[in-house]
Amino acid sequence: MKLQGLRVTMLVLIGVLFLSVSFVCAETAEEYSLRTGNTYVIKEGQLSQVTADYSEGIETAEEYVRRAIANGEQGNITQVIADCTKAIEINPHYAPAYNYRGLAYASQGNFKQSISESTKAIEIDPNYAVVYNNRGLDYYMIKEYDKAWADVHKAQVLGYAVDPVFLNALKKVTGRDK
């Protein structure tokens, strides 16, 4: 019975993590634009309009990712994956598409696929700090704690403020501070 309760708790945590990780832990479009020189920007307050605005005439990878983000906010994970896949077909070197598709897979409990997506995003952009954090969460979920620590450290070195709740959970399960 304890194991089943733990499983339910983990599934709830996964759902909460997707919503928080994808929209709180995710690098903002403005931050990504400043860091990479990419001109893709979603202004604050526009996300709720993105799905409607981009239901027709989407042409760029960035526009598909915008719609994926809006769909993620609305809990439409299947559409997030579809939009990110289309973005990757258009521009296979657009790291945010892999990041958000990975977050969608994680929200479904498919952590190994999420790790694969994060790894691809990191191959494209080795300085994409939030992706190390996201992959660290995935490693934590599949109990690969040494890899989780390695990604947490890399995210921190790149300037990402890892969630203290996640850090405390990792410390508790491993008995380590670093």
**What is the DSSP track for the chain?**
-HHHHHHHHHHHHHHHHHHHIIIIISPPHHHHHHHH-------TT-HHHHHHHTSS---SHHHHHHHHHHHHHTT-HHHHHHHHHHHHHH-TT-HHHHHHHHHHHHHTT-HHHHHHHHHHHHHH-TT-HHHHHHHHHHHHHTT-HHHHHHHHHHHHHTT----HHHHHHHHHHHT---
Q: Which residues contact 100 (CB under 8 A, 6 or more apart)?
A: 22, 26, 65, 68, 69, 72, 80, 84
Q: Tokens in use for 65? A: 């990712």
Q: Given a cut of 70, is residue 43 above it in pLDDT?
A: no
pLDDT at 42: 44
Q: Given a cut of 70, is residue 177 above it in pLDDT?
A: yes
Better-predicted residue by pLDDT, 42 or 131: 131
Q: pLDDT tens digits, residue range 109-134?
A: 999 999 999 999 999 999 999 999 99
Distance CA 178, CA 52 (A): 45
pLDDT at 73: 86
- Domains belonging to the chain, first-starting first, are 2-174 (1.25.40.10)
Q: Given a cut of 90, is residue 145 above it in pLDDT?
A: yes
Q: Which residues contact 156 (CB under 8 A, 6 or more apart)?
A: 162
pLDDT at 53: 52
Nearest alpha-carbon partner for 96 in 58, 134, 151: 134
Better-predicted residue by pLDDT, 167 or 24: 167
Distance CA 142, CA 35 (A): 31
Q: Given a cut of 90, is residue 12 above it in pLDDT?
A: no
pLDDT at 3: 40
Distance CA 120, CA 133 (A): 14
Query: Quick one: average pLDDT of 130-150?
Result: 97
Q: Given a cut of 70, is residue 152 above it in pLDDT?
A: yes
Q: pLDDT tens digits, residue range 73-107?
A: 889 999 999 999 999 999 999 999 999 999 999 99
pLDDT at 155: 97
Q: Given a cut of 50, is residue 25 above it in pLDDT?
A: no
